Amino acid sequence: MSAHISSVKTYFTVFLCLMAGTALTVWAAFHDFGALSNVVALGIAITKATLVILFFMHVRYSTRMTGLVVLSGALWLFFLFALTLADYLTRVFVPVQAAAGM
Amino acid sequence: MWQNFPLFPDQASTIAPKVDAIFFFGLGVAAFFSLLIAVLVIALAVRYRRRRPDQIGEDEAPHDALEIVWSVIPLLILLVMFGWGARVYFQATRPPANAVEYYGIGKQWMWKFQHPSGVREINELHVPLGKPIKVKLTSEDVIHDFFVPAFRVKYDVIPGRYTTVWFQATKVGTYHLFCDEYCGAEHSRMVGSIVVMDPKDYEQWLTRGGGAAAPAASGEELFSSLACSTCHRTDSTVRAPLLVGLYGSQVQLADGSTVKADDDYVRESILNPQAKVVNGFQPIMPSYKGQVSEEQILQLINYIKSLAAPAGGATPTPAPGKKG
Amino acid sequence: MASTPETVAAAPAHGAEHPGLAHHFESYEQQRESASLGMWIFIAQEIMFFGGLFIAYAVYRHMYPDGFAAASAELDVKLGTFNTVVLIGSSLTMALAVRAAQLGRSKASAWFLIATMALGTTFLGVKGIEYHHKYVEHHIPGPSFQFTGEHHGQPVPANQARIFFGLYFGMTGLHALHMVIGLGLLLWLLYHTRKGRFTPDNYNYVEGVGLYWHFVDIVWIFLFPLLYLIGRH
Amino acid sequence: MSSEAAVAEAPHNTHRVHYLNANYGVRSWLLTKDHKRIGILYAISMTFFFAIGGIMAALIRLELATPAGDLVQPDTYNRLFTMHGIMMVFFFLIPSVPATLGNFLIPLMIGAKDLAFPKLNLASWYIFNIGGAITLYALLHGGVDTGWTFYAPYSTSFSNTWVVVTGVGIFITGFASILTGLNFIVTIHRMRAPGMTWFRMPLFVWSHYATSLIMILGTPVVAITILMLAGERLFHIGIFDPAYGGDPVLFQHLFWFYSHPAVYIMILPSMGVVSELVAAFARKRVFGYGFVAFSSLAIAVLGFLVWAHHMFIAGVSVYAALVFSILTMLVAVPSAIKVFNWTATLYKGSVSWETPMLYALGFIGLFTIGGLTGVMLGTLGIDLHVTDTYFVVAHFHYVMVGGVIMGYLGGLHYWWPKITGRMYPVFWSKLAALIVFIGFNLTFFPQFLLGYLGMPRRYHAYPPEFQVLNVMSSAGATVLAVGYILPLFYFAWSMRYGKPAGENPWGAVGLEWETSSPPPPENFEVMPVVVGEAYDYGKKAYSFPKQEAKLG
């Protein structure tokens, strides 16, 4: 199967979605969502990244193997984050704050 | 080199038998499986040795059941080891409430200890038999590690934060203290000893040997020499909060939150006063960072602790001799 | 997935009728799939490379939220947003360049490559301006670092801001380095496109550099909100 | 070794072109794109680094023969154990089996002409040597005294040795590992011979596939950690240094995120070698082929979830310690599956006691001890007492020296006839295997006792009561050194005087034994098609369709 060739229209629609995403994330930054502000910012960034991966990088049309490699990259990053933060979020930190913060 | 040749460390603390118990269980599992595999491999290799040059082995149908068995059984044994180990770990890292608190400072290639009564020692720590002892540790430079093999006690001593170890000695004697995290050139000389004594001898040693001023007393001198007393007065709270009865109480901060006035709060307020400003006061207190060493901070903390007694309470009279 | 088990044709010397097909590959398709898979594995490795910096960011933002918010306030959101638009634009032109190569239109592909390089250089130019601004403000970690900021009325220790700026320069610096390498690859690609080396059968290098460029864009898509947009409310 | 060109032609195959006599001259070797020659180049530079690491090990053992630190200055001792660690881990153990035997054999075993990216493969060797040269440059100027673990804040602010330069050396060598891993994954996915499905591949290839996953996903994290360490040391950003508000435990998290999977990079290829040896010398299909294959992948994935069992007493939270301890128990199960399956393969086999099989049996025994002491270290209650003592030193030497090096030597002895077309003397090789086994146990078993007695790691002066065990260990080290030197002699001898080995000297089943020894430049005169299962000693597993019209 020769690699899929997307139409110019697809590329431009994806581009516009990315522009909208950028505007949205900047707008969202100036409004207080409390604890959710991180979730919103990361959510928008992940959607934009997925758009680039699926359409600009043709993962949408390429072999299952390519998708597997992308997912394994993300999964390993998740391993790193989940288990490192597991330590930091549950650590009863008794800081000698002065030395640390000063 | 032959006269003293131990093969097993002596048990000198309450946690030691517990650690040894799970160690022997682990050793038993390791020895059993190692011997099992070794005997099986040698027996099979001899029993089925090649007799004719062109002889080939018989093909075996796969036994999925057997595979599951020798996956699940090792896993179960491992989970038992995990659970038991976790219990011992919890006991070893949680000091009992009535533990007496000592201070320990690791500094490149020496140990400095301070008893609750203020006596200070270098590279040696005298402790009473049978009492739970908690040592609050921090480091002034790199990561060290407080390791007493006879007590089966070990924890890293990390700069920038407090870590604690606790033990309750069960045998009188002198035991090795090692620094167990690589810390530079003289890492292998950063050793000391823990001397376990009868409580009576310990008290005697304290008064006789450890003649240093009670930390609260020298803390009091520091309190005035560093001009803390100019603002923190006992009679007025115009410029600074009242310190009498402060230690251990809940403090209402300017940003609305409340925090317990423990060692770290006091320490932080000395070195970085703006971090937690008490409600109703201006952040005018200067920072003492760089002007006070770790020991002086500990002495100040002890002085403020001694103020915890109700006003006019028996502030300990300064002991006669004063060791620097 | 294994190379399609057609009869094992006696492989002729590849050079003659199959320009650009390496001797140890059976077919163009096998060569293209290998090149694409190789590039994707390289990108998975790059994800973990940047991942180390992102976890350091996450840990210190958890430990010093105020310090990070105060330090982030020093960054210029307008320039950051402009840069994001520029970089996503360059991703578009890169995708069109790859498409042109797939269709064998070398001239169009060359122009799109030039557009991508122009946008990339603009991005680096804007980054240069921002770095100079930090230099003037003494916000570069090192002996000359000064910081007196505050967040919600609370003064913020310089240490916490220094960590933020250390991570800022680490992450955006590494990203900029990847951009410079990308521009070098694009230049090499432009040279070979103009010489007509890439055909609809053999455009692996164009696709490879395209994947690399899109990855660098994705890294910035995450960097922008995490560095520029915290603590703006 | 490097004067390959001088290899005397074995009389009977003078007319046949193979990869050694295809072309001559130093240029033909230094610019080769042939995976077989690159494997040999790797073997040469790795042996050189192993020798340096070995000399340091000897000096360390000499120093430790006496309680007082009287052979070298304390600072010199610190540099010795640091460079011993760096040289052995980064420049010998990680590339040991994959870069030599893996490079040589994977294309042969899956019926490909070469690896997917030959130019990248050669670049990987050059990058490996450049990294090595930089680290040697730092070594000659005093080396590093931070331990191979580079813990902050000692490495960032208190050590005034060549930390940054050595870090750059290791950073560069890491890319050689990444390129090798990338090459293997793409080759195994895209270039298998027709008919070679995943479950007909040799277990050697499975284990290298799992190793490559770790190389790709783990190495970059240590690369960025070294960059951050250098940044901290030069600009005092405050990422790892508590004096500037950093957390030294974060460095340990990032360092061990790679360095624990790195120990699986070292052991998995040797496990692959042992699977091949046990199958070949029992002349039987490996028992539970599917389970052994998937256990390699399971080790690669679970290996990434357990790193903080190196940090139980380093200040991580108690709950995180629980999570990592239970995950460590999980990662031990696939290794147990492998050991049980190897043992079961011997049942009803036709077991021959050739030299490679001696190394394989030695591996199974020693790796079992190493693995089980590893599980003891993963148990929180025990780790509390034994971490950072000689118990840990004994554990990882049992796995790395008893496991990886035994596997590497076994593989070398097994495929030497295929690589050089020559056999080596049986008596001397069996003697060397025995000496290595005895020397190894005498060196490292006493260290288990020392560990529980509480002798800390990285001490050059220790209390006198530990001396007897240390003297035993030092004595064992000398025996081990003899065991490692012997193969250099008889391997060199065999290249000139060894009996010519035919296509299949051991009567084993495998695509690499279906071509001539040494193999032709493109591995097979005619590309094979796989029709049978792996290790099927019953019927012929490979056919060569164009058998009659023999090519050129």
**What does pLDDT average to over chain C?**
88
Number of domains in chain A: 1
Average pLDDT over residues B270-295: 80
The Cα C15–Cα C19 span in angstroms is 6
B191 and B295 belong to one structural domain: no
Q: Is B140 a member of any domain?
A: yes
Domain end position, chosen among B212, B242, B262 = B212
* pLDDT, tens only, B176-220: 999 999 999 899 999 999 999 999 999 988 887 654 445 555 677
Interface contact flag, A22 C81, Cβ < 8 Å: yes
Domain boundary among B168, B185, B212: B212
Task: Please tell me the predicted confidence (pLDDT) of residue C2.
Answer: 32
Q: Please give the pLDDT value at position C13.
A: 43
Query: What per-residue confidence (pLDDT) applies to B246?
Result: 83
Q: What is the pLDDT of residues C8-38, one digit of tens each?
A: 333 334 655 777 788 888 888 888 889 999 9
- Residue B273 has a pLDDT of 84
Q: Which of C57, C76, C224, C233 is nearest to C151 (CA)?
A: C233
Indicate the number of domains in chain D: 1
Residue A22 lies in a domain: yes
Whether residue D157 is contained in a domain is answered as: yes
For residue B90, how many other CB atoms are within 10 A of its CB?
Answer: 14
- In terms of pLDDT, which residue wins out, B232 or D416? D416
B200 in the same domain as B221:
no
Q: At C132, is the secondary structure helix, strand, or coil?
A: helix
In a domain? residue B1: no
The residues with which B165 forms a beta bridge, in sequence order, are B135
Beta-carbon count within 10 A of D335 CB: 26
- Would you list the DSSP string of C73-89? TTS-HHHHHHHHHHHHH
Residue A32 within a domain: yes
- Indicate whether B193 and B246 sit together in one domain: no
Last residue of a domain, one of B212, B230, B261: B212
Q: Does C155 touch chain A (CB under 8 A)?
A: no
Mean pLDDT of chain B: 85
Place of tokens 């940054």: D164
| Cα–Cα distance list, C25 to B220, C15, C18, D105, D187 (Å) | 84, 12, 11, 18, 10
User: Is residue D548 situated within a structural domain?
Assistant: no
Joined tokens for residue D288: 């539970």
How many contacts (CB atoms, under 8 Å) link A and B? Answer: 40
Domain match, B268 and B207 both: no
Give the domain extent around A72.
8-90
| Spatial distance between the Cα atoms of D184 and D174, rounded to a whole number of angstroms | 16
B164 plus B223 within the same structural domain: no
Cβ atoms < 10 Å from Cβ of B84? 19
Nearest-angstrom CA–CA distance, C34 and C14: 17
Facing A96 at nearest CB: one of B162, B275, B287: B162
Model confidence at C4: pLDDT above 60: no
CB pairs under 8 A between A and C: 137
Q: How many Å apart are CA D327 and CA B264, to the nearest integer?
A: 34
Peptide bond into D153 cis (omega under 30): yes
Please check whether residues B241 and B102 belong to one and the same domain: no
Q: Are residues B33 and B144 in the same domain?
A: yes
Mean pLDDT, residues D104-114 taken together: 94
Q: Answer whether residue D215 is part of any domain.
A: yes
Segment C134-161 shows an average pLDDT of 87
Please tell me the distance in Å from D363's CA to the nearest CA on chain A: 31
DSSP B57: P
Q: Stretch C153-163: mean pLDDT, rounded?
A: 88
Question: What are φ and ψ of residue A43, in 5° steps?
Answer: -60, -45
- In terms of domains, do B202 and B285 share one? no
Helix, coil or strand: residue D12 = helix
- What domain range includes position C70? 50-228
Give the nearest partner residue to C49 out of D223, D522, D545, using CB atoms.
Answer: D223
Q: Do C142 and D236 touch (CB under 8 A)?
A: yes
| Domain assignment of residue D503, yes or no | yes
CATH number assigned to the domain comprising residue D539: 1.20.210.10
Q: Do A72 and D217 make contact, defined as CB atoms within 8 angstroms?
A: yes
Q: Are residues B87 and B150 in the same domain?
A: yes
The amino acid sitting at C141 is P
Of the listed ranges B269-283, C41-55, D241-255, D471-485, the least confidently predicted one is B269-283
Domain that holds residue B257: 215-306
Burial C176-207 (b: 16+ CB within 10 A, else e): bebbeebbebbeebbeebeeebbeebbbbbbb
CB B216 within 8 A of CB D105: no
Contacts of D39 (CB under 8 A, 6+ apart): D99, D100, D101, D102, D103, D104, D105, D419
Q: Give the model confidence (pLDDT) of D50-92 as tens digits.
A: 999 999 999 999 999 999 988 999 999 999 999 999 999 999 9
**Quick one: pLDDT at residue B317?**
36
What does the radius of gyration of chain C's CA atoms come to, in whole angstroms?
22
Q: Write out the residue range of the structural domain in which residue D374 sits.
A: 4-543
Our CA dihedral for B63, B66, B71, B75, rounded to 10 degrees, sits at: 160
3-state SS class at B196: strand
Q: What is the mean pLDDT of residues B155-175?
A: 94
CB contact under 8 A, A83 and D305: yes
Q: Tell me which chains share at least 3 CB pairs under 8 Å with chain A.
A: B, C, D
D114 within a domain of the structure (yes/no) = yes
pLDDT at residue number B309: 55
Q: Is the dihedral of CA C21, C25, C27, C29 positive or negative?
A: negative
- The answer to whether the CB of B166 falls within 8 A of the CB of D402 is no
The residues, ordered by sequence, that sit 6+ positions from A78 with a Cβ below 8 Å of its Cβ are none
D160 touches chain A (CB under 8 A): no
Q: What is the CATH number of the domain that holds B184?
A: 2.60.40.420
Query: Are B70 and B207 members of one domain?
Result: yes
Ranges of beta strands (E only) in chain C are 150-151, 154-155
CATH number of the domain enclosing B261: 1.10.760.10
Same domain, B165 and B26: yes
Q: Nearest to residue D374, comparing CAs of D349, D347, D401, D395?
A: D395
D261 in any annotated domain: yes
pLDDT at A22: 95
Count of domains forming chain B = 2
Domain of C169, CATH number, reads 1.20.120.80
Q: Whole-model pTM above 0.80?
A: yes
Residues B10-62: tens digit of each pLDDT:
999 999 999 999 999 999 999 999 999 999 999 999 999 999 888 888 888 87
Tokens of B205: 């040693």
* D125 contacts D45 by C-beta, under 8 angstroms: yes
* Stated length of chain D: 552
Domain count, chain C: 1
pLDDT in tens, D14-47: 568 888 888 888 999 999 999 999 999 999 999 9
**String of b and e for B139-158 (b: at least 16 CB within 10 Å)?**
bbbbbbbbbbbbbbbbbbbb
Q: What is the pLDDT of residues B126-156, one digit of tens each?
A: 999 999 999 999 999 999 999 999 999 999 9
Task: Verify that B92 and B174 share a domain, yes or no.
Answer: yes
Query: Are C49 and D186 inside 8 Å of each other by CB?
Result: no
Tens-place pLDDT, residues D323-344: 999 999 999 999 999 999 999 9
- Rounded-to-integer distance, Cα B182 and Cα B55, Å: 56
pLDDT of B147: 96
List C-alpha distances in Å: B176 to A38, D445, D462.
50, 23, 11
